[in-house]
Amino acid sequence: MSDNRVWSYSTVLMGSPVLLKLFSHDEALASRVFSLIKKYEDLFTVNRAQSQVMEINHAAGQQSVVVSRPVYELIKCAKAASMVRDSAFNLAIGPLVKLWRIGFKGDSVPGAQDIAARLRITRPQDVVLDDAAHSVFLTQPGMEIDLGAIAKGFIADRVRDYLHQQGVSDGLINLGGNVQTLGNPQGQWTIGVKKPFADADALVGSIEVANKSVVTSGTYERYFEQDGKRWHHILDPRSGYPLDNELDSVTIISADSLDGDIWTTLIFGLGVEKGCAALRQHEDIEAIFVTKNRDIILSSQRQFRFTQCDDSYHLID
**Binding-site ranges for ligand FAD (CB under 6 A):** 14-16, 41, 44-45, 47, 88-90, 93, 97, 103, 146-149, 151-152, 177, 217, 221-222, 233-235, 237, 261, 264-265
DSSP at 299: S
Stretch near Mg ion under the rule CB under 5 A, chosen from 46-54, 158-166, 209-217, 266-274: 209-217
Count other C-beta atoms under 10 Å from residue 226's C-beta: 10
261 binds Mg ion (CB under 5 A): yes
97 binds Mg ion (CB under 5 A): no
Question: From the list ligand FAD, Mg ion, none, which binds 237 (C-beta under 5 to 8 Å, kind-based)?
Answer: ligand FAD
CA dihedral (176, 214, 101, 60) positive or negative: positive
- 142/176 with CB nearer Mg ion: 176
Smallest separation, CB 259 to ligand FAD (Å): 12
Site track for Mg ion across 217-256, x = CB under 5 A: x---------------------------------------
CA distance 8 to 18: 10
Q: If 0-12 CB within 10 Å is exposed, 13-18 middle and 19+ buried, where does residue 28 land?
A: exposed
CB 62 within 8 A of CB 98: no
Stretch near Mg ion under the rule CB under 5 A, chosen from 71-79, 212-220, 267-275, 279-287: 212-220
CA distance 107 to 95: 14
146 binds Mg ion (CB under 5 A): no
CA distance 109 to 101: 9
CA distance 240 to 92: 12
Question: From the list ligand FAD, Mg ion, none, which binds 151 (C-beta under 5 to 8 Å, kind-based)?
Answer: ligand FAD
Q: Which long-range contacts (CB under 8 A, 24 or more apart) does 274-279 make?
A: 275/250, 275/299
# chain residues binding Mg ion, by CB under 5 A? 6
